[in-house]
Amino acid sequence: MIFFIIVSFVILIIALTLLMSYEIRQKVIDFAQSLLPQGKKKLLNARKFAHEMNHAASADQIQTHWHLQQWWILIAGFFLLSSIMLFAFTKPVDPTKIEANYLKKADPQIYNLLNGEILSPPPEVEESLVDAAIVEAVRLEQQYQAQTGGSVSSTTIPNVENSEFSHGHLDTSMVNRKWDKMHPRYKQRLLMVFKIMKEQHGYELVLLEGYRSPARQNSLSRNKATTLATAYRSYHQFGLAADVAFKRDGKVVISERDPWAMRGYQLYGQVAESVGLVWGGRWTKIHDYGHTEYRMPGLVRSKETHDRFIREAEQGNLMASNIEQ
């Protein structure tokens, strides 16, 4: 489409240049005459008419050939009108419209909840804010355990291994905080949750992790207090799960030891479940309050499915468009 618009512009510029300049037009005609065959009568008649039309625009023919000059005005007006119509009805392809059409067909429930509106992801959270939130979460957890006489638990901080927790930071080298590999059926549900939480409850959410690579999943699964799912068993590998936190006064808040954050996680779970998501806060073995996932019907959790999802995402297509609904 962009190539077509550029070519149309070039053709339009050339045409208008020829129409407006008698000298350039005459040179082009002379050059064309030197290339065209001279023997056919029809061609001669056409050349004669073209010559009269062209000569009518010269300065010395204003009075005698005014009726032919009107044709040049009409031709120029036609090109101008055509260019206006071309660019008025030629619009760039809107990715959100493609996603809306996909959701309307594949997932009428979320499409109807959105009233046909496709939500856009918020900006990616700054790493420095996440690092500071993890340090604060470690401090709150240590303070809580000191008061209760227990041991530090990694379940209060999403995806923190014991070795990382003891140092008070999270290895972010493998963490993906982008939205581009998240499945539209889950992404739009999660964005709706973001919107409801902010507009109705005053909580601003940030994405800590969406898509998770198989290598990172296996690494996290070594700590059973963090996750029990190995590679290709977690919905993170298919863009159908995410971990979130809150933002308050410009700072990210993760730990549920903060009463305000804990209240937010409870509201988050209620809102997420209302749009068809599974909330990790209801799990019995591990309470993952910031986690939600969409258990898409027909999904086969396998390496082949994962590879296809990623390949389609990188190609800019809707992921899993050929899965049976």
Q: Are residues 6 and 69 in the same domain?
A: yes
pLDDT at 86 (0 to 100): 62
Q: For the chain, how many structural domains are there in total?
A: 2
CB proximity list for 277: less than 8 A, separation 6 or greater: 186, 189, 190, 193, 292, 293, 294
200-213 per-position pLDDT tens digit? 999 999 999 999 99
Residue 84 and residue 127 in one domain: no
Structure tokens of 99? 């996603």
Q: Residue 321: inside a domain, yes or no? A: no
Please give the full DSSP string across 212-268, using - where no structure is assigned: --HHHHHHHHTSTTT----TTTSGGGGT-EEEEEEEETTEEE--TTSHHHHHHHHHH
Band (pLDDT 50/70/90 cuts) for residue 278 is: very high
Say which amino acid occupies 155: T
C-alpha torsion angle, residues 32, 37, 39, 42 (rounded to 10) = -60
Domain extent, residue 275, equals 95-314
Tell me if 325 is assigned to some domain.
no
User: Considering the domain boundaries, does residue 308 fall inside one?
Assistant: yes
Q: Is the pTM of this model over 0.75?
A: no
Contact 283, 64 (CB under 8 A): no
**What's the pLDDT tens digit per position in 218-271?**
999 998 888 889 999 999 999 999 999 999 999 999 999 999 999 999 999 999
Rounded Cα gap, residues 72 and 12, in angstroms: 15
Question: pLDDT higher for 180 or 21?
Answer: 180
Look at residue 240 and tell me if it is in a domain: yes
Q: How far is Cα 117 from Cα 121, in angstroms, rounded to an integer?
A: 13
- The answer to whether position 319 is within a domain reads no
Q: What is the pLDDT of residues 70-124, one digit of tens each?
A: 555 666 677 777 767 666 555 544 555 666 676 677 667 666 666 667 889 999 9
